[in-house]
Amino acid sequence: MQGKVLSFGELLLRICPDIEQNWIEQHQLPFYVGGAELNVATALALWNVPSSYLSAVPQNAICESIDQYLQRKNIDTTSMQWTGDRLGIYYLPKGKDLKNAAVIYDRAHSSFASLKIGSIDWHQVFADVKWFHFSAICPAISQEIADLCLEAVQVAQEKGIFVSLDLNYRSKLWKYGKAPKEVMPEIAKHCNLIMGNIWAAHQMLDTKLDGQFLTQDSGYKDEDLLTQALETSQEIIATYPRCQYVANTFRFDYQLKGIRYYTTLFDKDNLIRSKEYISEDILDKVGSGDCFMAGLIYGLYSNLPPKETLEFATLAAFDKLFIASDATTSTVEDIKKRMRA
């Protein structure tokens, strides 16, 4: 595949206090530049995939410095929208998951949240793009952003651009009067790769879900999870004919501070399961799913077989759990060495 991968989403600052330490007395408040789609763009650029990123930020010295930082990472930001008055922020204590109640958003009325239909010339933006990626975090922000996402994927399909969607669910963002399943199906019609898990697909695309999984408990049998992953994937493919691949991640707490992790990829009529990875301790959960998504894009963009693509993406995502930043810092060779080991 030739051409750029364009990732679209809100650029955010993550403020990360260590609440187990005296962060107030020590005057320490670490921050990271991120956002789900930027994490994908950063990984792809590191892995030598032509990567571009589109967001909206205010024109000020801080955002200009961030833009220069992204360019130094070989991320093309020529499509960046310089508009509005503020950059989105969120607070997440060290070691917590974004799905955890501990996350605090401060992104209302941000530059990105102020975008509307007509704000972006998609025909111009897509001029040299072959792959368009975004997540369900975008349409969760407002009806205007949801409409903008629909406009984007419609133009992308007109131009023959491959579209990937991450079904990230953030309950604290869906506050404008629409449930995800009222918004996401229309957008999903135009997507070629849909990634998430069986719960996110149920929540956002209204796919069927066996009653035992509605408790969100972690004591499920793997064979039951795989059966549900197969049925969910088949339903998505049948409902959205443009969709060629469906990916699922299964990440469960292990002992006190650890993780048990594996994934699946549905390719045509075949459900592929990855190896399982287990660790008794991890460093940072943020960005692991984004790294998995980036791994899928890397593999498919590079024309790797689906099985190899899945194994690379899964190990890249697991490896990210031991990196204290929003995006991975591991190269392709780093990840392949671990695969060989």
Which single residue is written with the structure tokens 């190269």? Answer: 331
Q: What pLDDT sits at residue 160?
A: 97
Nearest-angstrom CA–CA distance, 309 and 42: 18
Contacts of 225 (CB under 8 A, 6+ apart): 198, 250
Q: Identify which of 73, 87, 81 has the alpha carbon closest to the alpha carbon of residue 41.
A: 73
Name residues of the chain where pLDDT drops below 50.
none
Q: What is the pLDDT of residue 97?
A: 57
Which pLDDT score, from 0 to 100, does residue 101 have?
A: 59
Q: Which residues pair with 258 in a beta bridge?
A: 254
Tens digits of per-residue pLDDT, 215-249?
A: 766 689 999 999 999 999 999 999 999 999 999 99
Confidence (pLDDT) at 96: 61
pTM of the model: 0.94
